Amino acid sequence: MSSIQLGAVIVDALVGSGVTDVVLAPGSRSAPLALAADRADRAGRIRLHVRVDERVAGFTALGLAKEARRAVAVITTSGTATANLGPAAMEARAAGIGLVLVTADRPAHQVGTGANQTGDQAGVLGPSALAVVRLSSESGDEAAWSAGVHRAVATAEGLRTRRPGPVQLNVEFAPPLVGTLPDPVDRGIRVARSAGHSVVELDGRRTVVLAGDATPALGAEARAMAEIAGAPLLAEPSSNARSGPNAVAAYRGLLAELGGDIERVVVVGHPTLSRPVTALLSRPDIELVVVAPGADWPDPGHRATVVADRVLLGDQDPDWLGRWKAVDHGPSVVGFTRQSVADIVLAALGPDDDLVLGSSSIIRAADLSPVSPAPPRVFANRGLAGIDGTVATATGIALSSGRPTTVLLGDLTLQHDLGALVRPPGEPDPGLRIVVADDGGGAIFHGLEQGAPEYAESFERVFGTPQGIDLAAVAAALGWRSVRVTSAPELTEALAGDADLIVARIPRP
């Protein structure tokens, strides 16, 4: 058996398992995979996306899989390249996003010998990987190789477990790494999806529907549940449920006023955006019902009393929703602030648009924005709520959907992912538009404990980290049409123009 043969079998088996997108970070040891993937792309069997940086490649695949709701493969070379998939793997595990991380490796007998670019990389992703599947050009045959790939894809998609996430497919290639590719072979398999069907009926006690980060389909279910029963809908920005007559825009502040009267919370998606919500989920005096389409469910306060695939919520007293709507007033916005940036961007988008939010201060501002009658689809990396990889994730979402996609994020979030601004020549342009709320540092920490006056002497250096980077100039150097704005009218005008990166300079708190 040869390495070039193994590379061809892996790509054929990925295609046979229904994988349509592969992201490649080039390298030497992965040459058999790269050659086979390129041939499959030219034949129209897959879409190949090439990224120079493995971390960017991982998050691009995350975005592709997040939008398409099917597994995406990532190919890397050996050594430290595999470890650079770690951040995307952690987010994918927490968010339940299927990734097949195909990590090229040296033969096992070279591990521990000091051979170049060789380490013990099988399992390097630790608990982030649902499973590790190992293949080698020096053992097994085509049937065994193909079966290993099929199992990796099925595990990543959670077809039998209802627990999707990242899987490491670690592949040992012995020289020679190139040669004549064998003819493509149909290596298809059908793995039936295990679906849950449990339905729990609930009575009409005072209930709120709390919708956290969720797919558009799951968000639509949360909205429908609230509207059919007449319950207040407390929907985070990336829940895709923040619309309609039952959505309460200012719920975060109203929990202090009305939260004591809540008797039941029905949780849909993954909510943990704000401390008032976390406190609500931890209360021992409420019935906490979690709607979970998969095998896992969120319960940070350890208070869940019911977990079900679906629930039938009893009709609510009309006065209950009326009390919330009567006092649902958003924050007063004075000057050009993070809140006004979020409000303006959300108001400029409609149902044919996609919005990707950075997981820091800006998504919390969007959580206070007015409820739109026709909102965009909204995405965010809320599995672990890291700020890294946001632009790369948005790139994958845009490449998968083909829809106009806007990214709204902070300046530090953009700095964490500057590599994703590099648009490789010859690769499809995802057509992103990026809006940066630039206050020159980590403003989110001002609202946390470390923002208290007694820590003022240390705050700026170790928390605020003020930045002096001209992000518009950095983006322009990488080929983006960038513009700076310092007022609401200027931002509105820029959103209507042809700039694809807008830096909104706002004051620091």
- Over the chain (509 residues), the average pLDDT of each successive run of 10 is 95 98 97 97 98 97 97 97 97 97 95 87 95 96 96 96 97 96 94 86 96 97 97 98 97 95 97 92 95 91 93 96 93 88 97 96 95 96 93 98 97 95 91 94 71 74 80 95 97 96 90
pTM of the model: 0.94
Tokens encoding 300: 């940070």
Strand, helix or coil for residue 493: helix
412 — phi, psi (to 5°)? -70, -35
Predicted local confidence at residue 346, as pLDDT:
97
Calculate the alpha carbon distances from 105 to 21, 51, 113, 303 in Å.
22, 19, 14, 44
Query: Apex CA 247: angle with CA 243 and CA 252, to 5°?
Result: 120
Paired with 48 in beta bridges are 22
Predicted local confidence at residue 508, as pLDDT:
76
Q: How far apart are CA 31 and CA 11, in angstroms?
A: 12
Question: Which residues lie below 8 Å from residue 162, measured CB to CB, with a gap of 6+?
Answer: 194, 195, 196, 293, 294, 295
Predicted local confidence at residue 423, as pLDDT:
84
Paired with 233 in beta bridges are 209, 247
Question: Which residues lie below 8 Å from residue 380, measured CB to CB, with a gap of 6+?
Answer: 213, 237, 238, 356, 357, 358, 359, 363
- Is 193 buried (19+), middle (13-18) or exposed (0-12) by CB count in 10 A? exposed
Q: How far apart are CA 330 and CA 14, in angstroms?
A: 49
* Local structure of residue 420 (DSSP, 8 states): G
**How many residues are given for the chain?**
509
The answer to whether 385 and 359 have CB atoms below 8 angstroms apart is yes
Strand, helix or coil for residue 272: coil
Strand order from edge to edge, sheet including 207-211:
233-235, 207-211, 264-268, 287-291, 304-308
Predicted local confidence at residue 272, as pLDDT:
86
Domains of the chain from N-terminus onward: 3-172 (3.40.50.970), 199-326 (3.40.50.1220), 338-505 (3.40.50.970)
Predicted local confidence at residue 446, as pLDDT:
67
